[in-house]
Structure 1
């Protein structure tokens, strides 16, 4: 039995959400024949679809699972107003068998209602290491994006002629620094003296600013390969690559595939992407739950190269344009991580002094 107080709060918050026009949903999945007791519906909480990166690749995995299993799936877009997050969570938890979201903030909202949704499964992804899972119906995934960026760093430094590569992060945040630490280790694997020009954009959406910073790294630091870890602002990095006639490396999704039809001129500079294959992870979690084989609820797990969710994009464009030396460097680095020969350092929990030391060690 759900607590009346929680229901009243949920109804109040949801009413506010509807009145303000936020929390729009896009329902695309139909109901198919499902097993007895299997989940029949999934809701995905997201700020907004259309980023050509993390959010879109996440939803792609949910959509794929929904279509294969014949279950309903929905994207609930709560926009940029954080006050809409909690009502979106509560509404979805009341309505859908599984609710999927990213980030620790949603977990904190959920923990306010520990006994309210016993029959709902929650999958929380992109969760910080060390996070305590307090509910038996929650599964949390921490991505080892440092491993995909280890491959990106090895690729970039092998490709670079100036031995200076650029890294543009959206914000100075733990998740971005996790990418960065892996990238630096990949660079130094190839060349201990390799340099990384670094800029934090201060925004995940300001593409013009990202372009300006990127051109600064090219013109002032002589960076000749640029890697963006900045969400939608990454478009500015690729625009700078186009202007400077150099290669760019995408993030999260295979960004060449996202841009090749809509913006082919942008796709033409994206030689590869450091993939955080959220789609693979979420499709796996949905499928396991549907089949009743998900034994990991109530826990948090680290998923990376070994789980197939961290890698570099190796599409036809990569195969046609990446030098063989770069491919070989990536293949060797990947095998070293998979075998356990190399343990890529995570940026999560790293002391600021150590992080500064690493950044300064590759400063142009």
Structure 2
């Protein structure tokens, strides 16, 4: 899901950074407010994994920082805490709204109950929630993605690349959102080569059990799939995916990253040779665009969907070796065109 047009952070935010501790959210980075006290700028409340996940949350951070720089406002990012409740999330969002941040964005579907409650109390504040479209309110933007489309392309790449005719999928948590990744991937594999087997594993049933935050779990799962013959392993597991990539590199097989272009990430640099590509989604652009809408005075509630056609999801093209695979690239171009013109209907459930 990207990065045909990925938002890059053009330097540090203009506001000075300070470190503070939230009553319910751990350590935060809190930039100084803008001159306009009515709006301090954009605030994000991180999903599990927090800052430094090299994936979902870090992409949101990119969008926040670019917005703060471009609009000369402040910024604030608040970390989650282990075992937190919906009440903790509600308190965190309430604090951000009271402090004058606008928009206030919950990163991840787990924020849905809190966003619904807090948005009703602060009708003049624009709220955003990433990866959920169940909150219906005039001041809430549901920032969602067609993850299955980029995952379909990942499946095409895997099917064209595998030599063992076995590929793997590691999902962080067994929930409908991650089912979209699995569904698109499996369909892409089967449409490309029905003889290729897909082995899959979900790390946990609930997010609080560490499915998105445990590289060791990801590593063990990937090792098991590689032992079963998988020579390409795709993960949709957040921070846990670092373990998947590590396991693939150790066995010199391909890994496919997710959310961000993981080939380009410093924390994964020593494994990059084995990161074939990544199914990306432009969380950074979604966060930035909502902040811009608030800045411009035209923010609206409702579902804002990013898909392959809009460039909101894509397959990363950073690995030179991947780009030299002419037969793979030809198959991907054909598949991408089919999805964009509606000839290929990608499933959202396995």
Q: Against the structure 1 CA distance between its residues 212 and 110, is the aligned structure 2 distance closer, same or farther, given a 3 Å change threshold? A: closer
Aligned pair count? Answer: 319
Partner SS, residue 268 of structure 1: helix
Contact map agreement 1:169 1:229 (CA 8 A) in 2:
yes
**Residue 219 of structure 1, aligned match among 227, 242, 248:** 227
Choose between structure 1 and 2 for higher RCO, CA contacts under 8 A separated by at least 6 residues: 2
Give the TM-score, by structure 1 length: 0.81
Q: Distance in 1 between matches of 2:92 and 2:117?
A: 14
**Residue aligning to 1:205:** 213
Select the structure that is richer in strand.
2
Extract unaligned runs of 5+ from structure 1.
Answer: 1-16, 348-354, 356-364
Residue 264 (1) aligns with residue 272 (2): no
**Residue aligning to 2:83:** 81
Q: Which has the larger radius of gyration?
A: 1
Contact map agreement 1:158 1:326 (CA 8 A) in 2:
yes
**Residue aligning to 2:95:** 91
How far does the alpha carbon of each residue in 1:198-233 deviate from its partner, in whole angstroms, 9 at most, with x for none? 11122222222322221221122x111111111111
Describe how 1:229-308 pairs up with structure 2 within 5 A.
Answer: 229-259=236-266, 262-294=267-299, 297-308=300-311
Q: Distance in 2 between matches of 1:56 and 1:167?
A: 22
Give the TM-score, by structure 2 length: 0.84
How far does the alpha carbon of each residue in 1:290-333 deviate from its partner, in whole angstroms, 9 at most, with x for none? 22344xx2312332112211111112x24666512222222221
Select the structure that is richer in helix.
1
Contact map agreement 2:90 2:117 (CA 8 A) in 1:
no
Describe how 1:1-364 pairs up with structure 2 within 5 A.
Answer: 18=22, 22-28=25-31, 31=34, 40-47=40-47, 48-83=50-85, 84-95=88-99, 96-113=101-118, 115-128=120-133, 131-133=134-136, 135-202=137-204, 203-220=211-228, 222-259=229-266, 262-294=267-299, 297-315=300-318, 317-318=319-320, 322-347=324-349, 355=350
Report the Cα offset of residue 51 of structure 1: 0.7
Report the Cα offset of residue 344 of structure 1: 1.1
Report the aligned-residue RMSD: 2.3
Q: Against the structure 1 CA distance between its residues 346 and 72, is the aligned structure 2 distance closer, same or farther, given a 3 Å change threshold? A: same
